[in-house]
Homo-oligomer: A and B are copies of this chain.
Amino acid sequence: MLEYTKLGYKPKKTDLVAEYYAEPAKKVSYEYLCEQIAAESSIGTWTTISTMNKNVANKLKPKVFFIDKKKKAIKIAYPQELFEEGNMPQILSSIAGNIFGMGILKNLRLLDVTFPKKLVDSFPGPRYGIAGIRKLLRVKKRPLVGTIVKPKVGLDEKQHAHVAYEAWVGGLDIVKDDENLSSMSFNNFKKRMIETYKARKKAEKITGEVKVYMPNVTAETEEMLRRAKLVDDLGGRYVMIDILTAGWAALQTLRKRTRLVIHAHRAMHAAITRNAKHGISMLVIAKISRLIGVDQLHIGTAHVGKMEGSSREIQLIEEEIEKSYITANEKELILEQDWFDIKPVFAVASGGLSPLSIPDVMDRMGSEIIMQFGGGVHGHPEGTRKGAVAVRQALAATMQEKDLEIFCLANPELSKAIEKWGKKK
C-alpha cells in the first residue's frame, strides 16, 4: 500500500513537484532513502500503522518518479491536496521540514519546486512588479540605482536624513536602511521617518526626479504593520523587510496589509542556501518570495562584490523571478514553472559594489535590475553626494556602451572613484 517509488510516472498538472539533492548515510540504500523522504514529507511514518487506510494512501501518496543516482538528484510529485492554499509555512513544513533531519541521510537539499496552478493562484504575488515600479519612479529603461545609508547603524535621525539627501541629490533613485537598523536607542524609527521624508521632499524638488526611501520595518508582526502604516501615512512608497529573519508568516501578513512596494532583503539566507549539498537553494527562496509577493529581491552580485554566489546561479534566479514561464532545464536541474498571473520581481544586486562594478554587473544581470551601493557611494573620496554622482556617471557610460576609463576623463567624480577603487573592484 505504501510504496512511493514509481519511476516514469508523469506528474499531473495538479501535482507539486519537488527536486532534491539526496545523499544517503552509510549503509542506507538509495531506494530506501527515497521512500523515506517521500513518506516523511507527506503521509508516512517510520513503521506500519493501524490508522492508515487505502483511501488516504491512494489519494495523497506522493510519487518518486525520477532518480539520478550519479547526480544524487530525485524528483517527487505530491498531490496538491497535501498543501493548504495560501499557507507557505505549511507547504514548507511538508517539503522542507523534518526531512532535513533524518538520520538515514547525510545531506539533503531542496533544489527546486514546481507549484501547480491552484497553489500559484492562492498567493497574490507582487503588487507592483517591475512595470509598476518603473512607472512609480518614471524610469523606463536604465537600471535603478540606490544606496544603503552607512555606517550600517550609528547615525542619529538627522544625520541619517542628511546622508539620504546627499545621495538623492547626487543622483540616486533609492535610499535604503541597512538590515540591522530598525528602531534604535540612538535612532528612533518614527523620528527617522519624519526627518528622512522631509529630506526626500527637498531632494525631489531640487532634482525633479522621483526619489524613494526603503525603511526597514522588520519587527514582530504587529509592530511591523504599525511601522508600515506610519510610512504610508507619511507619504512613503516603500517598505523593506528581512524575509528570513522575520519569516514567511509575517511576510505574508505584510503583503496583505500594506499597499506599498515591498523590498525584500535576505539576511541569513546563506545559512540555509550556501552549502551546495544541504539546505534550500536560493532559487527556491526566490520563488517563495515571488509567490508571496515581494516586489524587489536581493539575489546577489554574480561574483562582482563581497558576497558569494556564482554568476550562472544568479542568472537562473533572475530568470525565475522575472519571466512568466520557465522551461525545464534537465542539465541544470531547473524545473518547469508557469507563473500564470504572478508579476515579475525586480532583481536587486547589492553587496560590495562600487561605481566601477556597474559594467560587470550589467553584463551578467542585464538592465532590468536595481543596483545598491553602500561603501561604494559613501566611501567616495569626496563624500556621499559625489559618490552618487559617480554612480550615475558610470551608469550613463555603461548604458552608452562606453568604457569607464575614457568616460571618466570628462567626469571627475567617476575619475576619483577609479583612483580609489581601481579599474576592477
Residues on A facing B (Cβ under 8 Å): 41-53, 55-57, 59-60, 81-82, 84, 86-90, 92-94, 96-98, 100-104, 110, 149-155, 159, 163, 179-180, 182-186, 218-224, 242, 244-253, 256, 265, 267-272, 274-275, 278-280, 303, 305-309, 351-352, 354, 374-376, 378-384, 387, 420-421
**Assuming the A-B contacts A93-B245, A242-B97, A249-B247, are A379 and B221 also in contact, with contact meaning beta carbons closer than 8 angstroms in the complex?**
no
In the complex, which residues of chain B have a beta carbon less than 8 angstroms from the beta carbon of A184? 81, 84
A350 to chain B, nearest CB (A): 10
Which of B56, B89, B272 meets A272, CB within 8 Å? B272
A36 to chain B, nearest CB (A): 8
CA distance A421 to B380 in the complex (A): 69
A48, A89, A252, most chain B CB atoms within 10 A: A89
A301 to B, closest residue via Cβ = B103
A307 to chain B, nearest CB (A): 5
A166 to B, closest residue via Cβ = B51
6 A-B contact pairs sorted by A residue (CB < 8 Å): A42-B153, A49-B150, A87-B223, A90-B219, A101-B308, A250-B250
Contact B49 A220 (CB under 8 A): no
A251 to B, closest residue via Cβ = B247
Copies per complex?
Answer: 2
**Assuming the A-B contacts A103-B306, A351-B98, A379-B49, are A93 and B268 also in contact, with contact meaning beta carbons closer than 8 angstroms in the complex?**
yes
A378 to chain B, nearest CB (A): 4
CA distance A96 to B248 in the complex (A): 17
Contact B278 A45 (CB under 8 A): no
In the complex, which residues of chain B have a beta carbon less than 8 angstroms from the beta carbon of A306? 46, 102-104
Contact B250 A180 (CB under 8 A): no
Contact B221 A221 (CB under 8 A): yes
CA distance A250 to B244 in the complex (A): 12
A157 to chain B, nearest CB (A): 14
CA distance A222 to B97 in the complex (A): 22
Which of B102, B154, B379 meets A48, CB within 8 Å? B379
Contact A220 B52 (CB under 8 A): no
Contact B218 A89 (CB under 8 A): yes
Contact B267 A151 (CB under 8 A): no
In the complex, which residues of chain B have a beta carbon less than 8 angstroms from the beta carbon of A374? 45-46
